[in-house]
């Protein structure tokens, strides 16, 4: 009797589990006659913010780019094209004054918000002033410090509200009429046009933000002027976008974009394999499998990024205060082995800091310090270290995630094998690592830069001028500073780019950093995704600047 009871209860449990599982089993994928025009992608997590002024994180831009449009935008080749502006301002069309200090944008008159009201120059004035407001402390505000009064307003965080209001009113942007926007600069700047094409100064609708405060980004409050509108935001799960019925431009082909928020790269890959996603980035551990498996041949997509990764040296700390030691280290790293061993082939070796695909790119830049063990040893000998045991202790500091640990071990092996130098590895929790590098508490470390906009001044100015905003190597060279100063305010593109090229050559000869590789995106795309226009200006997902062109074929 007793045995039977127990056995029956066990059976009941098993049955219960089958019942739970059964309805799910029947819901297999079905193919319908008309293919739903839905694109499903993975943002990789919950956006930090989808407020264009405050955004900085690439996946957030993937979303913002669908819902907003600015004065200008980038084409796949990195050049500018007018969006809401009628033309790109230039000195010849009068958009840029002869002294280069006044930029005038004329706006199209048929552009509307997703609620049907017109987009005017005042929306841009509001957005630009808001971008440099101390209350929001927007991360990209420094890109607009050349606008008259912008930096003073941004840095007034400890002032009274009255003082702040006066500073806000003094910011040099104005709208003489509804379709004219005038921007006053402190000094001439060719790349201000690139900056005006960034998400950070997309127009924002003041009435919506004033009414809803922080929750203006919740649908349906999220009013934009782009081809799509955000209809649902299920936090930490997904964002759903539908075409904007009031969009002024060419209507998108897709009826819906689903942006999933799967944080784990392997979980995203599983979702792709289970047909829950149409595009997925391949996680580092799986690259070889999908690179070689012929059944994925029609799904593979390899796209260049405007990104360079490098070994950076703190030029204040021994032994890297000696340029010869830095040069020797640059020559000691086998970049081909790096790309094949660490990156599984996804990436391209480089010695240039400015990546290919950018104006001013020179494939030969820095090539004198390409991988060359003999030269590395000679340079060390010249530095007085023919006996490497005389070198001071050297520590490589890195963020303790999987990728950076692999990189650290590779570099340690290279320096040991090629030069006989033993370095100590110092893994730090990622945020700690970042702040230590910012503070100059490191000897040498890994450094990567991805373009904000395709121009060399984004790669050289604040990174390598003396006291520059993100100069982590503490590199300082007066000749470089002079060149950078000239190029920064030069409105002639030919001389400007040649100055930057010369500046890069000068910097690379001093090796504050040793470029190792240019990054690439390796993704899988379902064969039914048509019209994807992937390029090196993608935000975070292949083709995400041009989803209006995408359609879904029957499958």
Partner 1 sequence: MTRFVIRRVLWLLLVLLIISLVTFLLMHLVPGGPWAKGKPLPPAVIAAINAKYGLNKPLYIQYAKYLWGILHGDLGISYSYQDRSVTQIIMQSFPKSAILGGIAFILALIVGISLGMAAALRQNTWVDYVCVMFSTIFASVPGFVLGILLVIVFSVILHWLPSGGWGTPSDLVLPVIALAALPAAYIARITRASTLETIRQDYVRTARSKGLLERNVLIRHILRNALIPVVTISGPEFAALVTGSFIVETIFSIPGIGRLFVSSVFARDYGLIMGTTLFYAFIISVANLVVDILYAVIDPRIRYD
- Looking only at residues 449 through 468 of this chain, which bind partner 1 when binding is defined by CB under 8 A? 449-450, 462
Q: How many residues bind partner 1 (CB under 8 A)?
A: 75
Among positions 77, 177, 264, 492, the unique one binding partner 1 when judged by CB under 8 A: 264
Among positions 32, 92, 236, 250, the unique one binding partner 1 when judged by CB under 8 A: 236
Give burial (CB, 10 Å; 0-12/13-18/19+) of 213.
Answer: exposed
Among positions 101, 104, 136, 440, the unique one binding partner 1 when judged by CB under 8 A: 136
| 71 close to 83: Cβ distance less than 8 angstroms | yes
DSSP 287-327: HHHHHH-GGGTTTEEEEEEEEEEEEEE-TTSTTTTSHHHHH
134/515 with CB nearer partner 1: 134
Among positions 417, 438, 479, 495, the unique one binding partner 1 when judged by CB under 8 A: 438
Stretch that binds partner 1, among 4-12, 475-483, 511-519, 544-552 (CB under 8 A): 4-12
| Residues in 57-86 at the binding interface with partner 1, rule: CB under 8 A | 57
113/222 with CB nearer partner 1: 222
Among positions 39, 128, 239, 437, the unique one binding partner 1 when judged by CB under 8 A: 437
Closest approach of Cβ 434 to partner 1, in Å? 4
Other Cβ atoms closer than 10 A to 434: 12
**Does the footprint of partner 1 cover residue 274 (CB under 8 A)?**
yes
Q: In what order do the strands lie in the sheet with 102-106?
A: 102-106, 180-184, 173-177
10/255 with CB nearer partner 1: 10
Q: What are the Cα distances from residue 156, in Å, to 132, 166, 301, 452, 514?
A: 10, 11, 47, 26, 38
Closest approach of Cβ 221 to partner 1, in Å? 11
Among positions 43, 49, 311, 524, the unique one binding partner 1 when judged by CB under 8 A: 49
- Which stretch of DSSP H or E encloses residue 231? strand 228-234
Among positions 273, 318, 363, 553, the unique one binding partner 1 when judged by CB under 8 A: 273
| Residues in 354-373 at the binding interface with partner 1, rule: CB under 8 A | none
49/120 with CB nearer partner 1: 49
Q: In what order do the strands lie in the sheet with 228-234?
A: 38-42, 256-260, 238-243, 228-234
CA distance 410 to 174: 54
- Nearest in space to 489 (alpha carbons), one of 242, 146, 229, 157: 146
| Residues in 143-162 at the binding interface with partner 1, rule: CB under 8 A | 145, 151, 154-155, 157-158
195/415 with CB nearer partner 1: 195
| Residues in 9-38 at the binding interface with partner 1, rule: CB under 8 A | 9-10, 13, 20-21, 23-25, 27-29
173/239 with CB nearer partner 1: 239
Closest approach of Cβ 134 to partner 1, in Å? 6
- Nearest in space to 275 (alpha carbons), one of 95, 549, 26, 30: 30
| Residues in 177-216 at the binding interface with partner 1, rule: CB under 8 A | 214-215
The residues, any chain, with a CB within 8 Å of residue 335's CB and separated by 6 or more, are 349, 350, 351, 370, 371, 516, 517
φ, ψ at 108 (rounded to 5°): -65, 145
| Residues in 413-432 at the binding interface with partner 1, rule: CB under 8 A | 429-432
């Amino acid at each position: 009797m007793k045995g039977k009871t127990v056995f029956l209860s066990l059976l009941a449990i098993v049955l219960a589990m089958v019942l739970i599982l059964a309805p799910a089993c029947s819901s297999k994928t079905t193919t319908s006659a008309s293919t739903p025009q839905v694109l499903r992608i993975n943002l990789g997590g919950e956006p930090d913010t989808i407020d264009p002024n405050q955004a900085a994180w690439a996946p957030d831009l993937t979303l913002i780019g669908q819902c907003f449009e600015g004065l200008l935008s980038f084409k796949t080749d990195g050049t500018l094209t007018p969006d809401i502006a009628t033309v790109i301002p230039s000195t010849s069309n009068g958009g840029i004054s002869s002294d280069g200090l006044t930029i005038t944008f004329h706006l199209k008159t048929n552009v509307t918000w997703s609620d049907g009201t017109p987009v005017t120059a005042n929306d841009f004035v509001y957005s630009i002033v808001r971008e440099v407001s101390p209350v929001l402390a927007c991360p990209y505000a420094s890109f607009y410090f050349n606008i008259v009064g912008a930096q003073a307003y941004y840095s007034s965080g400890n002032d009274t509200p009255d003082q702040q209001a006066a500073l806000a009113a003094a910011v040099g942007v104005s709208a003489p009429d509804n379709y004219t926007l005038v921007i006053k600069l402190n000094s001439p700047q060719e790349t201000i046009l690139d900056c005006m094409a960034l998400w950070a100064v997309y127009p924002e609708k003041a009435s919506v933000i004033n009414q809803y405060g922080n929750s203006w980004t919740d649908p349906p409050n999220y009013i934009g002027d782009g081809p799509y509108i955000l209809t649902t935001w299920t936090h930490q799960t997904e964002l759903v976008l539908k075409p904007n019925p009031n969009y002024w431009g060419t209507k998108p082909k897709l009826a819906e974009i689903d942006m999933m928020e799967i944080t784990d790269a392997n979980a995203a890959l599983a979702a792709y394999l289970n047909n829950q996603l149409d595009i997925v980035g391949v996680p580092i551990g799986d690259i070889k499998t999908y690179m070689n498996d012929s059944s994925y041949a029609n799904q593979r997509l390899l796209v260049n990024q405007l990104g360079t990764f490098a070994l950076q040296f703190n030029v204040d700390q021994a032994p890297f205060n000696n340029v010869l030691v830095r040069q020797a280290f640059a020559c000691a790293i086998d970049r081909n082995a790096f790309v094949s061993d660490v990156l599984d082939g996804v990436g391209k070796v480089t010695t240039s800091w400015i990546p290919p695909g950018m104006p001013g790119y020179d494939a030969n830049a820095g090539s004198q310090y390409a991988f060359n063990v003999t030269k590395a040893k000679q340079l060390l000998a010249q530095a007085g270290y023919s006996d490497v045991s005389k070198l001071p202790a050297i520590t490589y500091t890195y963020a303790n995630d999987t990728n950076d640990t692999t990189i650290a071990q590779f570099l340690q092996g290279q320096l040991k094998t090629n030069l006989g130098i033993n370095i100590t590895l110092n893994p730090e929790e990622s945020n700690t690592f970042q702040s230590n590098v910012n503070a100059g508490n490191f000897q040498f470390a890994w450094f990567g830069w991805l373009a904000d906009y395709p121009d060399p001044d984004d790669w050289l100015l604040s990174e390598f001028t003396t006291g520059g905003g993100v100069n982590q190597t503490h590199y300082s060279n007066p000749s470089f500073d002079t060149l950078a100063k000239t190029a920064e305010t030069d409105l002639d593109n030919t001389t400007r780019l040649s100055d930057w090229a010369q500046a890069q050559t000068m910097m690379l000869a001093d090796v504050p950093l040793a470029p190792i590789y240019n990054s690439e995106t390796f993704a899988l795309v379902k064969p039914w995704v048509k019209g994807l226009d992937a390029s090196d200006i993608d935000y975070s997902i292949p083709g995400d600047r041009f989803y209006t062109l995408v359609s879904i074929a029957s499958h």
